[in-house]
Amino acid sequence: MDNSKERENIQYLKSVIDDEIWYFEIDGQQTAYRQIVARQEGTCRVSGSPDFYLTDQSVEWMEGDIPIESAEFEAVWTKAMAPYQEEWNRTRQRYPEGRRVAGVIMFFSIHGIHIALSDGGYAVTAYEPVRSRVDHSYLYPHYLIEGIVQGVDDVNCWLVLGNCTMSGGTDGKETILQF
């Protein structure tokens, strides 16, 4: 999950599409790390928890896109994440560093494996260490995963897990794979 090399060339972009303003934080390869979709009526969807609304492809600059400063992006991000801060603070208190937690895989992104914790809240763990230790057939949504809280990501409002293990069990929900 250390994306420091990719994150060296971070750029910020604003796109106006119909009645929405899309904000992106992208790296030199045009990969989105954070995203906000702000609607005229004042609602927002964010790539952080609990929305997880992040493009899964490279962001291509389009005619009319506006480069913005990081300060503008951060101000919009802070405002968009404000409604989730109280729950995030409770989650942080409930899961101190060093605690073993369990949940299910939700999806995979540039940040790693996203996990819905069984007692509420969300976490992420690096993909490669898990992939190297478990049967690859477990690396799908709804499979159970356990790990140890190693830190927090206050920006995205999720816990950071390490030392993750998987037994091959699932939450019993069906995964629909589309190719």
Residues 6+ apart with CB under 8 A from 48: 34, 81, 84, 155, 156, 157, 158
Give the Å distances, CA to CA, from 15 to 18, 36, 54, 68, 100: 10, 10, 15, 10, 41
Segment 85-143, tens digit of pLDDT:
999 999 999 999 999 999 999 999 999 999 999 989 999 999 999 999 999 999 999 99
Q: Is the CB of residue 123 less than 8 Å from the CB of residue 115?
A: yes
- Write out the H or E segment, with its range, that includes residue 161: strand 158-165
pTM of the model: 0.88
